[in-house]
Structures are given as C-alpha cells and as structure tokens.
Amino acid sequence: MKIIELLNAVKLMINNEEADLLKKFDHSDTILKSKLDEREKLIATRLVEKNVLRRKKNATGKIEYTKKFQ
C-alpha cells in the first residue's frame, strides 16, 4: 500500500497495482485508454472512482486519462 496526497491535501491509500499504473504518468501527462491493457483499464476506472485520475474525451474523440494530484 502507498499513500498519495491529492490536490486538496487529502491523503489516500492506493494498492501496488494502482501505484504501478500511476508511474506511467511520470513519462506523460496523459495516457490514452487504447494504450492500456484490459487489467490496466479496470485499475484506471477504479482510480477515476477514487478521484485520483480524470477521464475525458479528447478533441479526436478518444478517451484519455490525466492525473489529479501532484
């Protein structure tokens, strides 16, 4: 388990799988859903529900994820 701090100073515990997915954001600010495998898509959905990631449709109509913390 790891602890991250959201922008509003709330601390949140995440599991190791979620932490591994969040490491992908070290190299890029956004990640397209199409670049994730099936397991990572489920983890990304869980992180959206926890308010850690933001899911939105970009200008080309593709779904992308961005992180909501520093």
Quick: pLDDT tens for 10-63. Answer: 788 889 999 999 999 888 889 999 999 999 999 999 999 998 999 999 999 999
Identity (one letter) of the amino acid at 37?
A: D
Q: Is 33 exposed, middle or buried (0-12, 13-18, 19+ CB in 10 A)?
A: middle
Q: Which domains, and CATH codes, for the chain? A: 2-67 (1.10.10.10)
State pTM to two decimals. 0.84
Structure tokens at 46: 């869980």
Specify the pLDDT at position 47. Answer: 94
